[in-house]
Structure 1
Amino acid sequence: MSTQSNTAAGIGLMVASTFVLAMQDGVSRHLASEYNVLMIIMIRYWFFAAFVVTIAARAAGGIKRAAHTTQPVLQIGRGVLLAAEVCVGVLAFTYLGLVETLAIFICYPLIVAALSGPVLGEQVGWRRWAAIGVGFIGVMVILRPGFGVFELAAILPLGSAVMFAVYALATRFAARSDSTETSFFWTGTVGAIFMTAVGLWAWEPMTARDWFWMGCLCVSGAIGHWLLIKCYEMAEASAVQPFAYFHLVFGSLVGVIVFHEVIAWNVALGAVIVVAAGLFTFWRERQQS
């Protein structure tokens, strides 16, 4: 395939992955409103770990090759951080809903851009710093500090965004020595071990109907990650990453249609500002590379 065809296919896979992951968010919101969040994420990680181990076992070199790393502390830290971030994010769904949570969470690429200089030594020019500043103005529009009582639950998606940004930076750092397959393997297995340690005590009976939704959650997570893997195999990250914002679009539609959430004017305006700033940072990164 030509480079242009690969990029088009990669964009299609990215949009498909955001759709699947938005559906997963909707199922997570439902289950987390009925059961302990730690139990839900623990079961989800069991399936995720089985998925990554299966992929590793079928690849050349098997599990031994996938698990080999010269930086186990970093890989363990990444896995634990992502699992904790997922818990915080799903908890935010139960307090704020999908629309507001995703609108705040989408600022994470701006946090990555802001921290890439001091953490990774990458050069961040004044244009990207200006975009980062504009993006955080968008976040403030969503949060509306000073108007009424500030909702403490808004700290959850903001904290989730910071955690995911740090995880993304740690993943970039790990990529200097380890392959994508190795990082993926450690993410799933370490996350499953961590969630089992903190989630078993929260076990509670689940209805047959919700076990069905739990199965949908696990399968959609595996499909979403598989689509992302294929997406990054087909095209450069800088070309497809802007289309990750479709996650906000699809997630908001699920929130409005399924859970009857309302998109407030400040949330819509702030989200547009954040997305515009994020798209500009992606464009500048691609121009420089």
Structure 2
Amino acid sequence: MTEQLNRNMASFHTRHLAHGALQRAPRKAILFALAAIFCLCTLDVLVKWLAARYSIPQIIFLRYIGGLCLALAVAHGSGGFGQFRTRRLSGHLTRAVFNLITMLLFYYALRALPLADAVAIAFAAPLFMTLLSIGLLGERVGIYRWSALLVGMVGVVIIMRPGDAGFGLGGLAALASAFFYALTQISARQLSNSESSATILFYYSILVLLVSAALMPWYWQMPSLTDWGLFVLLALFGSVGQLFLNQACRYGEVSMIAPVEYTGLFWAVLFGFLVWGDIPSWSVILGAVVIILSTFYITRRELMQNARQEGAPPVER
């Protein structure tokens, strides 16, 4: 009897951690973040390609149909639809609003700027995330994280070339989207202490779908067969990327995950060259080197610190 009770308690504890609790597992957080950034950069490529022919509201609408389907599939395979019950509807609504504003601004920036430029400017988000995580999450950020983030921001400034075309409407939209993206990730971290990743994905997919669906009578354009395939890929990469990002927020602090997002610049430069033939300027290359080096530095320190403190209460640097 006691043995069975212990097994039941262990099973409950495992499920609770899997679906509703925050954990400190930096290696998992970094791996999920890296996978998420690749998926979301692929999403950016598809959005930029489709935005030449379709409206941004329609792109958002079709993208989040996929998000809803994925949330239902994940929930079905990991505890059932009962996990969608929530007492934090206002939190989900807040995150959905932040996410919707982020998309509208960033998709506009993708239309107006080369892919690498839009992504590079949006990389102001990690600095916003660090600043907001101090006030909203109570995270402590030590000298090493601050140093790496500030060095990364120097790289972003190099790419933006202040005083040049980087601060046109497209550049300002990308910068504003970075701020709201940081708020989106902060709210994901706050929700993750009680909500599963599938639940978070479900509610903001529903809310964004409702808003974008209301606009479809004015913006809908029937896609071609080929474009339907691209929209399917758009929904797949976008939804999987968001799911991975939610998992990264569950396993690691926002200020630790933030520098990993800089690796998206590598994918943006590569995809921009392969798809549109964009050749990065010297400033983009130099800024990318600075950003990626700062990312690897902070990631390595986090893993080393975690290895030294294995089994001990985590102490923030």
Q: TM-score range by the shorter chain?
A: 0.7 to 0.9
Query: Deviation of residue 8 (structure 1)?
Result: 7.8
The Cα offsets for residues 5-27 of structure 1, whole Å up to 9 and x where unpaired, read as x9888866655554443332211
Note the aligned Cα RMSD (angstroms): 3.2
CA gap of 1:175–1:21, structure 2 versus 1, over 3 A, is closer
Query: Counterparts in 2 of 1:192-203, with a 5 A limit?
Result: 192-203=209-220
Gaps of 5+ in 1: 1-5
Q: Which amino acid aligns with 1:184?
A: L
* 2:74 aligned to which of 47, 50, 55: 55
TM-superposed CA distance for 1:285, in Å, is 5.8
Pick closer, same or farther for the CA change 1:195–1:276 going to 2, 3 Å.
farther
Specify the alignment match of 2:45 in structure 1: 26
* C-alpha displacement of 1:100: 0.8
Kindly report which structure 2 residues correspond to 1:44-83, keeping only aligned pairs within 5 A, or say none: 44-60=63-79, 62-63=80-81, 65-83=82-100
The alignment covers a number of residue pairs equal to 280
**Alpha carbons of structure 1 residues 169 and 199: separation in structure 2 relative to 1, 3 Å:** farther
- Deviation for aligned residue 1:243: 5.2
Distance in 2 between residues matched to 1:149 and 1:178, nearest whole Å: 38
Q: Which residue is equivalent to 1:220?
A: 237
Contact 1:48–1:218 (CA under 8 A) maintained in structure 2: yes
Instruction: Tell me the distance in 2 between the aligned counterparts of 1:148 and 1:85.
Output: 21
Q: Which has the higher contact order (CA 8 A, sep 6+)?
A: 1
TM-score (norm 2): 0.75
Match of 2:128 in 1: 111
Letter in 1 for 2:50: L
Per-residue CA deviations over 1:84-135 (Å, capped at 9, x if unaligned) read: 3123222211111211111222332222112211222222234433444333
- What amino acid does structure 2 have at the position aligned with 1:51? L
Work out whether residues 122 and 177 of structure 2, in 8 Å CA contact, stay in contact via their aligned partners in 1.
yes
- TM-score under structure 1 length normalisation: 0.81
Return 5+ residue gaps in structure 2 as ranges. 1-24, 306-314
Greater Cα radius of gyration, structure 1 or 2: 2
Read off the aligned partner of 1:253 and give its amino acid letter: L
Instruction: Label 1:243 to 1:126 Cα distance change in 2 as closer, same or farther (>3 A).
Output: closer
- Equivalent residues in 2 for 1:79-90, closer than 5 Å: 79-90=96-107
Q: CA deviation at 1:174?
A: 1.7
Moved more, 106-115 or 173-182: 173-182
**What is the CA-CA distance between 1:283 and the residue it aligns to?**
5.4
Aligned partners of 2:218 and 2:172: how far apart in 1?
26
| Partner AA of 1:192 in structure 2 | L
SS at match of 2:98: helix
Matched, 1:251 2:268: yes
Cα 1:195–1:66 shift into 2, 3 Å: farther
Letter in 2 for 1:72: L
Going from structure 1 to structure 2, the CA distance change for 1:207 and 1:248 (only over 3 Å counts) comes to same
Output the CA distance in 2 between the equivalents of 1:149 and 1:252.
Answer: 16
Distance 1:215 1:176, change over 3 A: closer
What residue identity is the alignment partner of 1:181? A
Identical counterparts, % of pairs: 28
